Structure 1
Amino acid sequence: MKSMKIFIGILFLAMGGFFIVYNFAKSCDDILNIGKLQAVLKQHEAISDQYLSNAFRVNSSETIRDKGDGILPIKNSSQKEAAVPVASVEEPVQEPLNEHLQLSPDEIANNEHDEKMREREQTWNQLVASRNTTVKRKQLPRLIGIGVEKCGTHAFLHFLKPHPLIKVIRKIEAHFFDERSTAPISEYLSMMPEVSPNTAVMEKTPAYFSFPPYAIPKLIKANVPQAKIVLILCEPAKRVYSDFVHEWAWYNISHHWSGIHQFHTIHDYLKKYLPKVTSAFVPYNETRASGDTLRVLQHHVNDYMSTLLTTGFYALHLKRWLKYYNDNDMMVVDGSELFNDPGAVMERVQDFIDIPKVLLREDYVRDSKTGFFCYKEWNNNGRLNCLPSNKQRTRSKTSTSDPFPEETLQHLKDFYKTHNEALFKLLGRRLWES
């Protein structure tokens, strides 16, 4: 009996130990399952984040693939095997669209334009401030317009001078190197305005390009070495008529004798001078070009009225300038582009003389009445700043000058044809049809 009680006690103890061990193992298994569940939940959460962000690579060393029935690890991306698609699903999840954040092309363009205008205004104000707070002194020009007469030199100056770092001399045309070429450079400096060091002084004297003395380019290069040159060339046949009208207007204002008063019409002038100039300089001859340049300048001295025609021999005049200037310090502008798209020219010239580009192409708008462009003052309620009427004598819609007969114009184009071709060869580009 006693043995039976001992046996039963041992049995109960064994069963109690079994249940203790069972419960302990079960607890461990539950913990393990919870851990697995948490891991699975984290993986699903990562996949959800990937779908929403449209990014499928989890990190630099491990990727995952959803096969619909489980989450399986993919081999480390550093292994040398063919690349495995980062993620693929039977039904790709579309990235949610936030329609109110989607901008139209016009809205994007408007935003970019507004930002451009803000940047321009900030730069402009900084330039004005720097100009007004620094010590000012007289400076020789950094930009000299050398011509050509009646090709838009005044329009060029008019469109550029609103820039806060451009200062035009009061007289506009200095005529120093053509009329006082033997005077000391200090006399030239005395004609300049007092400006801050970062301001570019400009003067333009169209006579420099085609008038004597022959050494004008050499004199400018030697005395104003830092100056850059701007040359505006226009179709020479039309330029003749514009120059003729200008000479008559100048004679009526000043009664300055130039010989123009003896010709009442352009036909009267051409009847006398076209045969004379043709026999001397047409066609263009490369072998005698240097001598012809000197003879053209001598004609200017002895017979000023011949310059209405000889100024248009651009190749002859340009050759003496190319001895001292190249593309780095001389900008050649097509006069027709200045007339039809002055804003594009102004943007390029700001780069040319290395000043901040605060005059923009859109600042120049065409006047519907005259057909000429005006500068729209962006910081003055869009006020239009247009050329004076005396600079619109032959090309304006409101011009009172007689139209240039087409037959006469074509005759002059034929007259200039060989000289034009020589010019285009020098420039490496065509500016108009000759």
Structure 2
Amino acid sequence: MICDIMKILHHHVLSKRRVLAAALVIAAFLLLLSTDQISDKEKMRKLLCTLYGDEKKAVYENNVNDLQASVDRINDEISLLSAEHTGSFEQRLPQAIVMGVRKCGTRALLEMLRLHPSIAAAKPELHFFDDHYEKGLTWYRKQMPFSYADQITMEKTPAYFITSEAPDRIYRMNSSIKLLAIVRDPTVRTISDYTQISSHISNKNRNFPRFEDKVLVNGEIDTSYQAIKTSIYASYVKNWYEYFPDSQIMFVDGAKLIVDPLPEMKRVEQFLGLQDYFNGKEFVYNETKGFYCLKKKKLKCLGSSKGQSHPDVDPKVLRKLQDFFRPYNRKFFDLVGRKFDWELI
């Protein structure tokens, strides 16, 4: 068990020079508490949180949410050591990827999947198949969490969906991989995309154009605006289907995941070939935040950047956007073989 703990510590926290020292500390820690009524897993969890918190304090001192998320990821890997899994405990290339779509709920989907004992998820977002492909598969593998052979290793990078080279690159790595894309009403997605970017700009005390001024040029939809282009799902789906059959690509309904996560997560569970696990108790609605939080041993909600309020948009512009996206939506429905209940805003 200590050897496996060292793998995790080395991957997430420690330099090579400190791995041996940490091993001695862990061994002493276990010996000291050997008579306590605390499981080895709990001892490891407490020690690991302490080591990791001290090591990364300077890096994360202004971002408690990021620090807690990192500690949670390590805790998840430590939890595996006492679980009933088979095979070696090592880093593996992913067998599944959440490849899109930006501002549709990819983070929520990944965090929900993390709850499943047969999922080992990497930190978001690695951007290997778009920005770091030249680093090679050896580098990519080293970014993955430690997992057992009977688990599914996965990662999430929404930019893959709109990256023309991504399907070919992923296919070359693993032609049988399972791909997940979460989608929502293109009009809502466009507004959400704008909201996130404008929020970042405003935090830097810089002015940002109104939504209406970003999406319209001379009274018509500006098809050069990236938020608009990303929302035309059909134009990207064709590229993915050139490499992967529809049996390997699942489109998750982002709107349903928000209002009633269980049915969508049961579909995801079946698509990935996972054991029956989700029963609804993992999803707890938070009245204040307006979305579901996740519960494993403790309640966990997504950060403040998730679920931001959208700006009020001129109803005429909303209708113009809906009219613009409608033919593309129909084409998308035909391509994926599923109709989504959009235009309900």
Alignment TM-score, normalising by the size of structure 2 = 0.70
Cα distance in 2 for partners of 1:240, 1:129 equals: 42
Distance in 2 between the 1:199 and 1:323 partners?
28
The aligned amino acid for 1:130 is E
CA contact (8 A) 2:101 2:161 kept: yes
Match of 1:234 in 2: 184
User: What SS does the corresponding residue of 1:337 show, helix, strand or coil?
Assistant: helix
Q: What is the match of residue 53 of structure 1?
A: none
- Are the counterparts in 2 of residues 238 and 409 from structure 1 also a CA contact under 8 Å? no
Size of the alignment, in residue pairs? 265
AA aligned opposite 1:361: G
SS at match of 2:278: coil
Post-superposition Cα deviations, 1:68-103, rounded to whole Å, max 9, x if no partner, equal: xxxxxxxxxxxxxxxxxxxxxxxxxxxxxxxxxxxx
Instruction: Name the CA distance, whole Å, in 1 between partners of 2:130 and 2:218.
Output: 25
Greater relative CO, 1 or 2 (CA 8 Å, sep 6+): 2
For the pair shown, the structure with the greater C-alpha radius of gyration is: 1
User: What is the alpha-carbon distance in structure 2 between the residues aligned to residue 348 and residue 127 of structure 1?
Assistant: 28
Asked if 2 retains the 8 angstrom alpha-carbon contact of 1:366 and 1:374, the reply is yes
Q: 1:182 to 1:312 in 2, by over 3 A?
A: same
Name the CA distance, whole Å, in 1 between partners of 2:88 and 2:342.
50
Which residue pairs with 1:139 in the alignment? Answer: 92
Amino acid at match of 1:167: A
Which amino acid in the other structure matches residue 97 of structure 2?
A: I
Whether 1:364 aligns to 2:286 is no
1:430 equivalent in structure 2 = 339
- Residue 173 of structure 1 and its aligned partner are, at CA, apart by 0.8
Residue 332, structure 1, aligned to residue 245, structure 2: no
State the alpha-carbon separation in 2 of the partners of residues 204 and 126 from structure 1: 21
* CA distance 1:357–1:229, change in 2 (3 Å): same
Amino acid of the residue matched to residue 360 of structure 1? N
- Post-superposition shift, 1:388? 1.7
**Counterpart position of 2:303:** 388
- From 102, 119, 130, give the equivalent of 1:149: 102
Q: How far is 1:263 from its partner?
A: 3.3
Partner of 1:249: 199
How many Å separate the matches in 2 of 1:193 and 1:263? 39
- Rounded Cα–Cα distance in structure 2 between residues aligned with 1:240 and 1:229: 23
Instruction: Please state how far the C-alpha of 1:134 moved relative to its aligned partner.
Output: 5.1
Q: Which amino acid aligns with 1:349?
A: V
Give the letter for the 2:169 counterpart.
L
For 2:185 and 2:121, locate their aligned partners in 1 and report how far apart those are by CA, in whole Å.
27
Q: How does 1:84-103 map to 2 (within 5 A)?
A: none
For residues 253-268 of structure 1, what are the structure 2 equivalents within 5 Å?
263-268=208-213
Which amino acid in structure 1 is aligned with residue 263 of structure 2? A
Following the alignment from structure 1 to structure 2, what is the Cα–Cα distance between the partners of residues 274 and 155? Answer: 35
AA of the residue aligned to 2:120:
K
CA distance in 1 between partners of 2:105 and 2:265 (Å): 13
The root-mean-square deviation of aligned C-alpha atoms, in Å, is 2.6
Q: CA deviation at 1:276?
A: 6.5
Q: Counterpart in 1 of 2:240?
A: 321
User: Who is 2:5 aligned against?
Assistant: none
Q: Structure 2 CA distance, aligned partners of 1:152 and 1:215?
A: 23
> Taking structure 1 as reference, are residues 413 and 217 closer, same or farther at Cα in structure 2, changes over 3 Å only?
same
Letter in 2 for 1:215: E
SS for the counterpart of 1:361 is: coil
8 Å contact from structure 1 (residues 346, 360) kept in 2 = no
Question: In 2, distance between residues paired with 1:181 and 1:427?
Answer: 28
SS of structure 2 residue aligned to 1:390: coil
Give the match's secondary structure for 1:176: coil
Q: Which runs of 5+ in 2 are unaligned?
A: 1-78
Q: CA 1:148 to 1:220, structure 2 compared with 1: closer, same or farther past 3 Å?
A: same
Shift in alpha-carbon separation, 1:325–1:413, aligned structure 2, 3 A: same
- The question of whether the paired residues in 2 share the 8 Å contact of 1:263 and 1:269 is answered with no
The SS at the match of 1:201 is strand
Greater CA deviation, 268-277 or 324-333?
268-277
Distance 1:205 1:317 in 2: 15
The residue type paired with residue 143 of structure 2 is M
Residue equivalent to 1:351: 270
Matched AA of 1:390: S
Hey, what's the Cα distance between the residues in 2 that align with 1:325 and 1:262? 43
Work out the CA distance in 2 between the residues paired with 1:225 and 1:261. Answer: 45
Relative to structure 1, the CA distance from residue 328 to residue 273 in structure 2 (aligned partners, 3 Å threshold; closer, same or farther) is: farther
Question: For 1:374, what is the secondary structure of its paired residue?
Answer: strand
Describe the shift of the 1:271–1:143 C-alpha distance in structure 2 as closer, same or farther (beyond 3 A).
same
Residue number in structure 2 paired with 1:179: 131
Query: Out of 105, 122, 125, which is 1:169 matched to?
Result: 122
Contact 2:212 2:313 in 1 (8 A): no
Partner of 1:220 in structure 2? 170
| Aligned-residue offset at 1:411 | 1.6
Residue 426 (structure 1) shift: 1.1
1:205 corresponds to 2:157: yes
Alpha-carbon distance between aligned partners in 1 of 2:150 and 2:202, rounded to the nearest angstrom = 42
- Matched AA of 1:204: K
Deviation digits for residues 321-349 of structure 1, max 9, x if unmatched?
01122232111111111111111122222
- Structure 1: runs of 5 or more not aligned: 1-124, 279-298, 300-305, 395-400
Contact residue 198 and residue 208 of structure 2 kept, 8 A? no
Q: Is the 8 A contact 1:136 1:194 kept in 2?
A: yes
Distance change (3 Å), C-alpha of 1:428 and 1:177: same
Structure 1 residues 416, 372: CA separation in 2 closer, same or farther (over 3 Å shift)?
same
Percent identity of the aligned residues? 31
Whole-Å Cα distance in 2 between the matches of residues 386 and 200 of structure 1? 24
